[in-house]
Amino acid sequence: MKFDTVVLGGGMVGVSVAVHLQQRGLRVALVDRKAPGNETSLGNAGLIQREGVYPYALPRDPATLLRYARNRSLDVRYHPRALPKALPFLYRYWYHSRADRHAAIARSYATLIEHCVSEHRALVEASGAHALLRPGGWLKVFRSARAQQAELRAAGQWRDEYGVAFESLDAAQLRHDEPSLSHALIGALRYTDAHSVSDPNALVTAYARYFEKLGGRVLTGDATTLQPHWSVETELGRIDAQSAVIALGPWSDVLTARLGYALPLAVKRGYHMHYAARDGARLNQPVLDAEIGYLIAPMARGIRLTTGAEVAYRDAPATPVQLDAIEPIARQTFPLGQRLDQEAWLGRRPCTPDMMPIIGPANRHKDLWFAFGHAHHGLTLGPITGRLLAEMMVGDVPIVDPSPFRAERFSS
């Protein structure tokens, strides 16, 4: 059982890396403890965010920070016990969120975002997953003219800087496009170049099946057993590979720390629940209620309600207080029926303090590569990350400059 590469992690990023390496003629094993797409990639909003050129920053204005500190906000909550350990990371996140630093980050980040839809479409075409992809964008809806004007100004800036396409909808147009939404909403902004997915888990599964069709192997195994140079325990016993890729999402630092790397990785936890729609109501596209802090999206299982961020220890027990708090508001916005899941799903977003993923070679081990830290954009950036890393690994000219995403940026 010898391979050219073993990819550790079966989420959107890991599967995409494995596909692109297999496409380039390498013999690849994809190893995870679960079937592909059954951890973080299972429970997101299903957005491929072509507009997401500015990664999600930490607010810096005192009023918002004070609101968060009170721990009653609908969009951000924290576990008090986890806060002391999280504060150094949050400070660095706050530091990088200053407007000029955030703009500099966007100049690098946008090089990945630019290719997110086209790279997904290429894998959708190859894997035959057309039915899962939904073009036409998504909506950010507003309850006040002030919030709507602020978003229009930001969208105009993104359009001028990075070609982000959008359209503004007044109340009448919004009611025409989404007649089941509350009439209390005064309008919306649609990011038209973005796509969405009706079942993120099914999309990862489709890409994984395509990987197997190309000759790749999907194996159940324990990534933490990775040993230089390079082997890992799987259902078939210990397998060997010339190179290894760590794409374990929020668990990546467990393995990188064991190998001697001090990479600043934290998690933002989030929850979702599926609902039936009442009275024949229909939702045509994902809708973000930006002023409250939740998103509803039409999914194969029903209407998925997703929460904002929870700062907590990665593996602490679930505390879906945000979901319980926003559900009554979401029911007023869209006629949600009964819950379809027995319990809320809990996911973990792997985050770096400068809001950019870590993509590229490890600097202390030969033939070890990193692909993690995509925060809210793991689904969005999986395929372009896979292409970029595969090009680096086989010596091709990379599609974008990889230097901003290297792990060395965090070296002291």
pLDDT in tens, 242-300: 999 999 999 999 999 999 999 999 999 999 999 999 999 999 999 999 899 999 999 99
* Model confidence band, residue 412 (pLDDT cutoffs 50, 70, 90): very low
Q: Residue 163: which residues within 8 A CB-CB, separation 6 or more?
A: none
For 62, 170, 330, the CA distances from 335, given in Å and listed in that order, are 36, 21, 8
Q: What is the pLDDT of residues 85-119, one digit of tens each?
A: 999 999 999 999 999 999 999 999 999 999 999 99
User: To the nearest 10°, the Cα dihedral for 351, 356, 357, 361?
Assistant: -130
CATH architecture of 2-45+116-131+200-265+353-410: 3-Layer(bba) Sandwich (3.50)
Q: Are 192 and 137 in contact (CB under 8 A)?
A: yes
Q: Which residues of 125-135 are buried (b: 16+ CB within 10 A; e: fewer)?
A: ebbebeebbbe
Given pLDDT bands bounded at 50, 70 and 90, which one contains residue 205?
Answer: very high
**Hey, where are the domains in the chain?**
2-45+116-131+200-265+353-410
pLDDT mean across residues, the chain:
96
Say what the pLDDT of residue 411 is: 79
